[in-house]
Amino acid sequence: MLVLDLEPTVKINVNKWLNGDYDAETKAEIRQMMESGAVTELTDAFYKDLEFGTGGLRGIMGVGSNRVNKYTLGMATQGLSNYLLKRYPNQQIKVVIAHDCRNNSKEFARMTAEVFSANGIYVYFFEGLRPTPELSYAIRELGCQSGVMLTASHNPKEYNGYKAYGEDGGQLVSPADKLVLEEVRKIDSISKINFAGKNENIESIGKEMDDKFLAALVALSISKEAIARQSDLKIVFSPIHGTGGVLVPPVLKQFGFNNVTLVEEQMVVDGNFPTVIYPNPEEEEALKMAIDKAKEIGADLVMATDPDADRVGMAIQNDKGEIVLLNGNQAACLLIRYVITAWEEAGKLDGNQYVVKTIVTSYLIDKIAAAKKVDCYNTLTGFKYIGEVMTRLEGKKTFIAGGEESYGYLVGEHARDKDAVISCAMLAEMVAYYKDQGSSLYDAMIDMYLEYGFYKEKLIAIKKEGKAGAEAIKAMMERFRNHPPAVLGGSKVTMIKDYKSSVSKDMISGVEGKIDLPSSNVLQFYTEDGSIISARPSGTEPKIKFYCSVNEPLADKASFESVQEKLDTKLAKILDDLGA
């Protein structure tokens, strides 16, 4: 009787799994959910199929078409296999597979390898957990057509996921992502998944690739002499139980840093992430143990990476000797400014260099790049779009660095995804560079604001779980489209950019223009005083995100605190106006 209370789509999917060739354990779990009256749980697990978002396939682990399990990942892999076989006919297709520390990641990775191998695709399989950026590097290094990373990045422990990559080492973008999805949708029965792996098509890789990857990173160091003089820079590092522990300590050592303190409790590989609430370096709580260690030893720099080591959070000493966190925008601005400056001082800037960022990342980066005559490209949210620009410009222009506000950065062209391994090394190099000049990174940040203006950003993410949450997020975006705010933070809205319709509208003149980016469900509001507010549903999490950026001139260092308070007040007012 309970099944009759389920929505039609849910009912169809539940019956499909109960009557299909799914294993007995899966069917028993579904029946248990039905017998316990878990209508909401069943609905969330079966109301739709998992789809590729900005970060691939990601979701809560468990039974159901909207959950991460061997069947949904198997369908994804079979669909990707079918796409690759059509895309590259009459050639030996090769893929690389890696996984992070999450529960089931190793098993999911092995199953993925077996499906690929069963389809005649040759698999390079990392022998143990490895960072996402090494996977990106390995695809290009081994001449592969694709790759898969089993990870849910920085999501809570209940999640896992599947990042699919193309031959350029970047995550799949349109039209490839849509073509893969079409192939997945054609698999209407798990009997169409070939799980019968062929061991002869699977090759284990490990240390040799690590050594090549690390050598490529060490070659990117710019301020070697400053590092040599500051080799005892006090650094605290934590991988938060993940893959950063494999390669970040070695790369710091090879860069020349000899005084690195590891947070030993978090060096332990554990998919339950027992020492944190969320393994997310964007969260202050995730860096608490590292910061406590830094206070104990008087460290210059604190860094912590997420489970698959593509994001890094950092903290530094302020002018009072306190350890303070930097947000993703601050770190991106400082890192890109440093790399451009170091290139300039080395005489390497010739007008053919560029940087890339996303539309929701600080526009201070645009200002810094323009001042140094370095092109700055803006992309949709998701590092795959930054990688897409890099691939398009390869051989034509020289990529210096890229970044996004969500703590993901890349220096160098060795990968096509954000890389916390090179980011940790270059952030440490940056601190050493300024310390070698008798300055701190905190002072360098204030100097940056004095030169270009004090930019401050804030992100608010509102979580809306399940089907009801998805509908609530959709309604919020429709409200902003149909009834956009006229004033935000006390300043008139002068322009609205709707990336879904690819139209920008000047609210003063009424003139409309075309946005030259792919369609995406993002709204941006520009105000008279230079503030930029973006609204965007997440592609990988059940959230709607509001990105707010405000700025004011900073006349002198003594005004830092007062201007910061003014910007904080403005940010609070904007978020209040949005109802966030």
Beta carbons within 8 Å of 273's beta carbon, 6+ residues apart: 157, 240, 241, 279, 307
Q: Print the SS3 string covering 352-375.
A: CEEEEEECCCCCHHHHHHHHCCCE
Task: Check whether the bond before 249 is cis (ω within 30° of 0).
Answer: no
In this structure, are residues 372 and 344 in contact, taking their beta carbons and an 8 Å threshold? yes
Strands (E), 146-252: 146-150, 159-165, 202-205, 235-238
10 Å CB burial of residue 374 (0-12, 13-18, 19+) is buried
Beta carbons within 8 Å of 90's beta carbon, 6+ residues apart: none
Torsion of CA 115, 117, 121, 124, to 10 degrees: 110
10 Å CB burial of residue 437 (0-12, 13-18, 19+) is exposed
User: β-strands 94-99, 146-150: how paired?
Assistant: parallel
Q: How far apart are CA 160 and CA 312, in angstroms?
A: 19
Check if 153 is active-site: yes
Torsion of CA 382, 387, 393, 394, to 10 degrees: 170
Q: How far apart are CA 136 and CA 408, in angstroms?
A: 14
Which residue in the list 81, 153, 423, 520 is annotated as catalytic? 153
Active site residue ranges: 153
